[in-house]
């Protein structure tokens, strides 16, 4: 089986290839000649995943799946949420996003947060949605040099390490993305 994963993000692609069974060949947007940035204009994480999957199916004709992920912080009423990648501006700068979030939380005691991933799968003229959530908290300083995005300041519940301090193998056992992708893989394995 061949599926397109609607992403240009090489870090994300590497995480997913680590989780996926070897009998499913994963192609990225680059592999199918899609060099455009697919608009993410929905007001929910699920809506953005659906938009991207529909774009690939309608424009390129491939069976595909697309995901969207957001960090939702309780004290900020769910922000940055759907705007997680662009929280500090349209250039999607991880360091600037982290700085902005830490400054927004400076005077807040409640640092509870959750990562949420939604995956839209378009396969055989049907669409399915899979969701994964990882609860945790935003710590006050950055720790670790692995991962990407908000990983250096997100500490999952019941763990002492941030995502950025975990190996890919450790993170893949508990992350929001891996939870959603395990659901997707279970569905594809039926």
Distance CA 117, CA 66 (A): 10
> Which of 30, 43, 68, 94 is labelled catalytic?
68
Question: Shortest CA distance to 66 belongs to which of 20, 134, 127?
Answer: 127
Reported confidence tier of residue 169, pLDDT bands at 50, 70, 90: confident
Residue 68 among the catalytic residues: yes
pLDDT at 65 over 90: yes
pLDDT at 79 over 80: yes
Higher pLDDT, 16 or 26: 26
- 2-188: which CATH topology? Maf protein (3.90.950)
Whether cis (ω within 30° of 0) applies to the bond prior to 180 is no
What does the block give as tokens for 30? 């680059």
User: What are the domain boundaries of the chain?
Assistant: 2-188
pLDDT at residue 21, as a whole number? 82
- pTM for this predicted structure: 0.88
pLDDT at residue 91, as a whole number? 83
Q: Taking all residues of the chain, what is their mean pLDDT, rounded to a whole number?
A: 93
């Amino acid at each position: 089986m061949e599926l397109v994963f609607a992403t240009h993000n090489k870090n994300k692609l590497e995480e997913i290839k680590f989780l996926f069974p070897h009998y499913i060949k994963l192609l990225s947007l680059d592999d199918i000649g899609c060099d455009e940035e697919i608009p993410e204009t929905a007001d929910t994480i699920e809506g953005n995943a659906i938009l991207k999957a529909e774009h690939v199916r309608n424009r390129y004709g491939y069976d595909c799946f697309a995901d969207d992920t957001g960090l939702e912080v309780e004290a900020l009423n769910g922000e940055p949420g759907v705007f997680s990648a662009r929280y500090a501006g349209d250039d999607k700068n991880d360091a600037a996003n982290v700085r902005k979030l830490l400054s927004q939380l400076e005077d807040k005691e409640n640092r509870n947060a959750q990562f949420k991933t939604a995956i839209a799968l378009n396969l055989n003229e049907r669409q399915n949605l899979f969701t994964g959530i990882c609860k945790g908290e935003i710590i006050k300083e950055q720790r670790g040099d692995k991962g990407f995005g908000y990983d250096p300041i997100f500490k999952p519940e019941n763990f002492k390490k941030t995502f950025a301090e975990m190996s890919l193998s450790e993170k893949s056992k508990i992350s929001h993305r891996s939870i959603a992708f395990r659901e997707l893989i279970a569905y594809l394995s039926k």
